[in-house]
Structure 1
Amino acid sequence: MRTFLLHCVFLWATSRRSSSSSSSAQVSVPAAATVLTCCEGDIVLLLDSSGSLANYEFSRLLRFTAELLRPFSLGRGHVRVSLLQVGTSPKLEFGLNVHNDQESLQKAVRRVQHLQGDTNTVAALRVARQLLTEAEEDVPKVLLWLTDGVQPGDVDGPIKELKARGVSVLIVSTVHGNYQVLQRAVTPPLESHLYAVDIDDVDIITEDLRNAIIKIIRAERLDVVHLTSHSAVLQWRPILRTDSGYYELQYNSMSTTDPESRRTLSGDSSSVELINLQPDTTYTASLRPESNQRLFNTLSVSFLTLPGVLSPAVVVVSDSGPHQIHVSWGPLQPTRVRRYTVEYGAIPSGDVRKVSLDGRVNSTLLTGLKQGSQYLVTVSALHMDGKEVAMSVKACTQDGTEEASLDTFKGHLTAVKRIQFLPE
């Protein structure tokens, strides 16, 4: 029988199982569902583990939680999950960065034990706020509160703080509680964010609640994942299927009068490479999902292709003296180069020394050199995209009586390699 009150759905079971005598809850989880890669966000599960909740009810909530989360792809860049128990004192079962796959998460949920004790929800909400608001990731954040609703305490203040920080609050209650308190706590819309259900029928709301969470954390954005002077690879999280629609892609240069390019992509696409682009040019691209099932937002992104020539393309040695050499390079690309490194050592077996310089600098004076010696000087640039480009020249210091000889190798590219950027 269903009764609607305060926009909550009350689902009453016709029979009630007796409480289990075991203090630990073992969760039996069905086979894996289709993995959802559409979402990115942080979810903190606030699980009532107090003595007012029977062992059987606690076990059912754990099983419901495991099934609710099962389809999500986990980890950084996808969905991160934390589980926090409410008891006399809050107990953090696992944090947001612990589980990166479903097997690990499901095992952790099965190991959760019923705390019993008092219902100190306020203390648990403080921990939840710290988990959700101190994370660096700028992603949607959800607090899912699973409770019997009995004596929740003065939660209005802590909940208000969470909402003010952009956290969406969703609640599942097992019918016994103060629904006026829960109604104030939940983030609108109430009809999809607040559920009151008999514990034996809690599985009925799994799909609706999961869809409500997906609506909050769905990652609808277009990313540039690879960029060169003449191409760009765009990537997005799939929101269509082959049989449910297609994508319309449009892109063009913002600095030329070239006509807009258009492409139609199949519904199972999640990336595309744009080729024959112009170097050092700003482009804008938009991706519009087309489906007769629902409306989707158009995704867009702007990007600047790399210049045709990457610094350093030329290295010049000048003003050589008995103990010093002036080195300069170009072109100067301060918006693309994070830092330059100049390495130099006497040939053939001198010690190699190193100087690191800001990306806005394109010359330096090397001092303390040996008189009348030949040096190999290498200038390398670490670009913003992680690429490292290096060029080497040979130069001689003066011997005190002769002008320095100079051997500059323009355009001699000694090393071009991809590296992962590690901040200093």
Structure 2
Amino acid sequence: MRRLGVACLLLLLLLSARVPRSCARDTTPDSGFDCCEGDVLLLLDSSGSISFYEFSRMLHFLSDLLRPFHVGRGHVRVALVQVDTEPRVEFDFDAHSSQNELQDALLRTPQLRGDTMTEKALLLAQRLLWRPAGQKAPPRVLLWLTDGVEPGNVEGPISALHKEGVSVLAVSTGHSNYQVFSRAVTPPIKQHLYFVDPDYMDIITKDLREAITDLICTECLHVRDVTSHSALLHWQAILIGGLSHYELQYGETESNSDTYRKLTLSPDHTWTEVTDLQPDTHYGVRLTAHTPYSTHSTTLSAGFTTLPDLICTDCLQACDVTSHSALLHWQAILIGGLSHYELQYGETESSSDTYRKLTLSPDHTWTEVTDLQPDTHYGVRLTAHTPYSTHSTTLSAGFTTLPDVFYPTTVMVSESGPDRLRVSWSPVQSGRVEWYRVEFGPIPRGDVRSVTLSRSQSSVLLTQLQPDTHYLITISAVHSSGQEGAISVKACTEEVLPGVHDLGLTQMGFDSVKVDWRTQEQAAGLQGYWVKWETGGSSPSSSSSSRYLPAQTLSTVLTHLNPTTRVCVSPVYRTARGEGLCCTTHTHTAAS
């Protein structure tokens, strides 16, 4: 019986690997978050349905999200529970008492790559967040971060958390059931539920941080978008209509509070801008909510320092430089209104008149420049324009793009067997590449193995593989500079297909026989057996007949046979037929 080949799916996945040149990040908490107090539990999906790259993006997103908060007792306590086959507490609320400790723990979190047992993880989170009835406790927030694949039956644990006063927020980076997540989060859904691509998680950082702030910083006066001459003040609504009003006082802290400037604001205000400030000066702010016919008033206070007029020379930085792109970061200089930034960049050897130009809104603090030439030095100028002003501030920087990273563009898989795969790639660039690294592991989980090959090799035979298993294979070209370029494929090994042996025919009557057989071993993928025979002798009406039998059946009786009938039995597996056997019956004799 002809053995059918196993069909394998090859999916080319180009991976852009690069050596990052990251900007230094300040882990000093923002003074505007001094009054925040609460417990934030991170429920992080660490299952095998999430790629290593996506998991890394999630960790960096959480790092940026939590960076402004003061960490520790009396401020914001953070715990991390990983969702896995057996969910585990990566660290509890009292594990870290500083922002530096928290950042280090977050970015070192290993991926577990098991099953998505979210329900069990929520029960574990519920125990960490539990507080005795009647005990006064700071606000509690659960932030669920997942790719949305098979969340399971989460409604029970989520409902219990809601009843205990825990606010639930969710971020999904992939396949998601909106109904499940919208029922899980605490209203308002628009502020507490986000669907985002892993590559662009930074676009929700500000909104999500403000949602958390609104929950755990309930009595705060926030100072934002501070420049050298202005600042924005934000607060949660305290007053509702009527004759109520806010009184805002602000001034230099070194001056007498009697000299503070005063503003009266209507009760529907939740923010205002203070202007005409002095640069590099510390200011104090007091916001008092007045209600008529009441002897009690609520006062919030805050402080901030304006930026110096002379902007630092390194405030414009080029980060994550590759051969064709770079990220530009700068400190905020403008806020709102009709202000804008003008960005100019080009090769330093060219005239500045040929520089490309971009116009950016005042809320920008970074942008990416692309379509650059490899191994080329670029100059950048960022000018902050303010309407009705004759003065503009210009920042400048320079950077050199990396040389081009060469890597294979074509991958082929051949010699597929139950325990082996041959992988070949092209083109081979021995003059540009130092060596190749081939990494391979079963999907969705399993040990990843690695093979190192010389620059001249273009293929490798991977052995000791599991049968009938999909593998992710990545070929990385490593350059002397440390840069890497990689390409990946998915390929599958063949199924083990044991054949039939000991086929026997026993005559049961004038035109009937019993067919018995055995297989070499009971393979996991065995589906059943095809039995085929001829009927009708040599007459014009002769024909072939067949019968399909389940895997547990090892015999059958055939009737109405001609004197010499050829009987064949072959096993059927999930992907192909195995090797079969045939025998011929003879009139009034034992089967041959």
Structure 1 length as normaliser, TM-score?
0.49
Structure 2 length as normaliser, TM-score?
0.36
**Structure with bigger gyration radius:** 2
